[in-house]
Amino acid sequence: MISLHQTLSKHVTAALNRAFPEAAAKANAAGFPLDPQLVYASKPEFGDFQINGALPLAKPLRKAPRQIATSIVEELNNNQDFRNLCEAPDIAGPGFINLTLRSQCLITEIETRLKDVRLGVELVQASKSGEPPAPVVIDFSSPNIAKEMHVGHLRSTIIGDSLARILEFRGHPVIRLNHVGDWGTQFGMLITHLKQVAPEALTTANVVDLGDLVTFYRQAKKRFDEDKDFQMSSRKEVVKLQSGDLTALKAWKLLCEQSRREFQKIYDRLDINLTERGESFYNAYLQSIITDLERLGLLVVDEGANCVFLEGITGKDGNPQPMIVQKKDGGFNYATTDLAALRYRFKKPPEGDGACRLIYVTDAGQANHFAGVFQIAKRAQWVPEGGRIEHVPFGLVQGEDGKKLKTRAGDTVRLRDLLDEAIMKASADLRRRLKEEGREETEDFITNVSNVIGIAAVKYADLSQNRVTNYQFNFERMLALQGNTAPYLLYALVRIAGIARKGGSFNIHTNGLQFNEPQEWCLVRELLKFDNVISEVEEELLPNRLCNYLFELSQTFNRFYDQMPILKAPEQKRCNRLALCELTANTLKLGMTLLGIPTLERM
């Protein structure tokens, strides 16, 4: 109901200014206009909106809060346009004003959304100069070459994807970047090791699969940590690679391509679209970072390394914390690459992406790293005016014991194994239910439904949590038909599709809807919250807000479905209720699509 909120806000602000013209004039002249604090009602019994400004305005206006509220209400009641929108305002407590929208106003909104594929969500506006919105860069997923994707990558991948989908739906051009770890010491280790144990892997494609490559990587890492000669050889190999040695580059490309193909299999299963731009992309820009930091007077040599000392961040000794941007041996590190990437993303084309907002989706453990990178970028003035940089941190995926999710052998759980198990358990649960219900379905049906439910359950279980916190991974809970789960949402959609299959056509209504029952009005008001929820997620980058809304909508619809006859209702009521069913289905489908969650019409 954002448009209604905006309209009401104009009426309420005008009423406040008319009630207290002298104070309003002074406040406007000072650049701090009086704020009526119009917000969405916190509870249904308070109506649809609340005006909460009377209490904070009591001191500057030197009047009792209830007296202020009474004056505002008098002005509102003198406004015919306001009276067409709202019932008579109600003053509660010391001065809160409750506003309830008129029934016809709500019905008009429902009728509008039934004809609107965007369900009331407006597109972002072009700038005042008429230029289209600048891109938003979302940096997410980011696996490392020669390593398999694990549950940690799951969180970054699906959180980043859901944010990208929501921002794209709002009309922002979104650049979805996969900042893969495709450069650095690990390649020197791996190439050196493979020269001895599997040299053909460095010259011929597809000689080893990713599983073998991971094993080779572990062996190389062990040798690097224990053998100084091997360590020296590995570093020489890195120098060859960085200097453009053709043999080293060919080996590097083969290893990257092998990993890339395996990553893509996971992305295809999860319906994820990304543009790969790994660490190697920024190699040509690393030296200029050092040069510019030195020119700006930010660079300090500390124990032979080039550093920037961070403001407001201290080490254990109480002194300012240094961030190394060039190692003692002249090599660069993650901080250098991240600074180069940040600057490139903000620069105008063709030198960069021309972004207005950068969003980094990584685990919470990297919060300090990004705080330092962001601070340096701001001090170097690489962030343009109005540019936004945000770290979107997330917690750990834990087992039921509250510890980091691992296999029985103590290894990190591979993402492909986790998805396989989710689909297998969904299949077993589906077969059990079909047997209990005496239903017979084809193997194709069972395979399709199991895949959708398994993937949906895994995604939703993650996205429905506040991303900042850790969460415990539990297949039984995430596949349940009750509670805040993907199957519960899917079941609401299946119910509505069942109504349509039984003769409940969704093409019989036009205008003139009427609602009389409390259950109908509850569903109406829940449906009209959708655009506001999308706006909140766009700003706060918390996908669980959308999950919670869809769960509440499903609960409200299920109560409506259980208590209100639909197909057996008299014709006018039948049409009205079918319209609510249709809009509920449209809202659930769109909401789940924006989360990257597949849907079903039978299960």
Residues 287 and 234 in one domain: no
Angle between helices 571-594 and 530-540 (to 10 degrees): 10
Q: 86 lies in a domain?
A: yes
Residues 321 and 226 in one domain: no
Residues 201 and 289 in one domain: no
Q: Which of 349, 361, 432, 350 is nearest to 390 (CA)?
A: 361
- The confidence score (pLDDT) of residue 201 equals 81
Q: 147 lies in a domain?
A: no
Residues 35 and 71 in one domain: yes
Q: Is the predicted pLDDT of residue 144 greater than 90, yes or no?
A: no
Q: Which band of pLDDT confidence, cut at 50, 70 and 90, is reported for residue 97?
A: very high
Beta bridge partners of 90: 98
Buried b (16+ CB within 10 A) or exposed e, 540-559: ebbbbbbbebbbebbebbee
- The CATH number that applies at residue 529 is 1.10.730.10
- The CATH number that applies at residue 72 is 3.30.1360.70
Residues 288 and 257 in one domain: no
Decide: 473 and 461 in contact? Cβ < 8 Å: yes
Q: 511 lies in a domain?
A: yes
Residues 305 and 318 in one domain: yes
Residues 253 and 354 in one domain: no
Q: 578 lies in a domain?
A: yes
Q: 399 lies in a domain?
A: no
CA–CA separation, 445 and 547 (whole Å): 27
Residues 489 and 591 in one domain: yes
Residues 496 and 564 in one domain: yes
What's the alpha-carbon Rg for the chain, to the nearest Å?
Answer: 29
First to last CA, the chain: 33
Q: 276 lies in a domain?
A: no
pLDDT in tens, 26-54: 888 888 888 999 999 888 888 899 999 99
The residue-averaged pLDDT of 349-374 equals 95
Tokens of 169: 């739906």
Question: In the chain, how many domains are there?
Answer: 4
Residues 287 and 389 in one domain: yes
Max CA separation in the chain (angstroms): 88
Beta bridge partners of 302: 305
Domain boundary among 366, 394, 422: 394
pLDDT in tens, 282-320: 989 999 999 999 999 999 999 899 999 999 888 788 888
Q: 366 lies in a domain?
A: yes
CA–CA separation, 108 and 142 (whole Å): 46
> Residue 172 contacts by C-beta under 8 Å, 6 or more apart in sequence?
124, 133, 135, 136
Q: Which of 260, 325, 253, 320 is nearest to 288 (CA)?
A: 325
Q: Indicate if the alpha-carbon torsion angle 212, 215, 217, 220 is positive or negative.
A: negative
Quick one: what percent of the chain has pLDDT higher than 90? 64
Q: How far is CA 376 from the centre of its chain?
A: 26
Domain boundary among 213, 240, 271: 271
Q: Is the predicted pLDDT of residue 490 greater than 70, yes or no?
A: yes
Residues 247 and 341 in one domain: no
Lowest mean pLDDT among 72-86, 203-217, 313-327, 412-426: 203-217
Residues 487 and 603 in one domain: yes
Report which residue type is found at 556: T
Domain boundary among 394, 418, 443: 394
- The confidence score (pLDDT) of residue 408 equals 62
- The CATH number that applies at residue 382 is 3.40.50.620
Q: Indicate if the alpha-carbon torsion angle 563, 566, 571, 576 is positive or negative.
A: positive
For residue 191, give its domain range: 185-271
